[in-house]
Amino acid sequence: MAAEYPLPHQPDADGAKPLLIGYAAGGFDLFHVGHLNILKHAKSQCDYLIAGVVSDEMLELTKGVTPVVPLVERLEIVRHISFVDEAVAEVVEDKMETWRQLRFDVFFKGDDWRGTLRGTRLEHEFATVGVEVVYFPYTVNTSSTMLRRALDALTRPDATARWQAKTIEGTS
């Protein structure tokens, strides 16, 4: 039985060019509008978008962050974003290994990597296999780090007591 849609890297029935496959990885923890913007912009520059949701273990290893939302739930959220054609768990640190598994054409990353040692190395490695690295600006007003700080502030005893007092007074 034939696939309903052309598979990545396969010409469609008319022999048209293969789909341009994009890959956008992220923790996508405490999903916010910045995450949505990156996925939306990424999809606008490719035909088929794969979102790599970084595993809990990889977030702890690479960023020293324990996610608030577990991987299985983050995958479910990202899988249901209309711009995303496929969501996969990213379980290895080596982006070239991820490429060997998925064979994407364009790698999308936040511009905080641009001009860094990691970003430059990634660009060179991907250039050897014909993958373009495209950077997107992060949404300035929102980040998972900012949301984590807000949650931490809310869970401190003094912050909780102030919130409870306002709720009792009816001022919240």
Torsion angle defined by CA atoms of residues 109, 115, 117 and 122, in that order, rounded to the nearest 10 degrees: 40
The pTM of the full predicted model, rounded to 2 decimals, is: 0.75
Contacts of 159 (CB under 8 A, 6+ apart): 153
Cross-strand pairs, 136: 110
Q: Which residue has the tokens 């060997």?
A: 100
Per-residue pLDDT of the chain (172 residues; tens, 9 = 90+): 222 333 445 555 666 667 999 999 998 887 778 888 889 999 999 999 999 999 989 988 988 888 888 999 999 999 999 999 999 999 999 999 999 999 999 999 888 788 899 899 999 999 999 999 999 887 666 665 665 565 666 666 665 555 455 555 554 4
Query: How much of the chain is in helix, strand and coil states, percent to nearest 5?
Result: 40, 15, 40
